[in-house]
Chains A and B, each alone.
Chain A
Amino acid sequence: AQSVTQPDIHITVSEGASLELRCNYSYGATPYLFWYVQSPGQGLQLLLKYFSGDTLVQGIKGFEAEFKRSQSSFNLRKPSVHWSDAAEYFCAVGALAGNKLTFGGGTRVLVKP
């Protein structure tokens, strides 16, 4: 069965500092990997996705993620955080066929001024 672990429940970062959110997955085949962001009381928005090819993926809002097969990881990064990046972030893994996604528990990001 596929699973996703996000080890950090909360992260606090100063505005302008860099941000890295960790994601580890378990999946028996080539995974489809995603990062979504959720503002309070809202639905989820796709930040970026990895299917194949270049292991460094660029997304919206200045985010990027790197797929490392040897470490079963798909960490999300942003070089300089803005106050509007305060939100909850979810990593997800999908099956090769169909769109059933398994989500991690989420990481809530707080941005200090």
Chain B
Amino acid sequence: DGGITQSPKYLFRKEGQNVTLSCEQNLNHDAMYWYRQDPGQGLRLIYYSQIVNDFQKGDIAEGYSVSREKKESFPLTVTSAQKNPTAFYLCASSTTTNTGELFFGEGSRLTVL
């Protein structure tokens, strides 16, 4: 079945540590996205990529980094510079035509201890 796989589902980290969240898709989509979800704030865009080896900052990119070396993969690194990293992180993908439909993974919950 085609879809988006995020791992790990739950992750705990100590303050000062970097952590990388994995996102893999087999939908053959060109575009991929990372959103952060906090209660009552909806989803906020961290980074997005519309093509391999290219990506752009979203609204809240500070303290995060990404890479897009393969079409299928778009890992997100939460660095120690991110002040409030505890959140639910959602990866999504889409075609680059203007249909607007995002396909989401099941999310990764990061808790900083």
Contact = CB atoms under 8 A, between A and B. Distances in A.
A94 B104 contact: no
Interface residues of B, number: 27
User: Contact size class for A?
Assistant: 20 to 34
B45 A32 contact: no
Contacts of A101: 45, 100, 102
A43 B100 contact: no
A51 B99 CA distance: 8
B96 A99 contact: yes
12 contacts: A34-B100, A34-B101, A43-B104, A46-B101, A98-B50, A98-B96, A98-B98, A99-B31, A99-B101, A99-B102, A103-B42, A104-B42
Interface of B: 4, 31, 33, 35, 40-45, 48, 50, 58, 90, 92, 94, 96, 98-102, 104-107, 109
- 7 closest cross-chain pairs (CB), A and B: A43-B104, A103-B42, A103-B43, A105-B42, A94-B100, A44-B104, A32-B100
Interface of A: 4, 6, 9, 32, 34, 41-46, 49, 51, 90, 94, 96-106
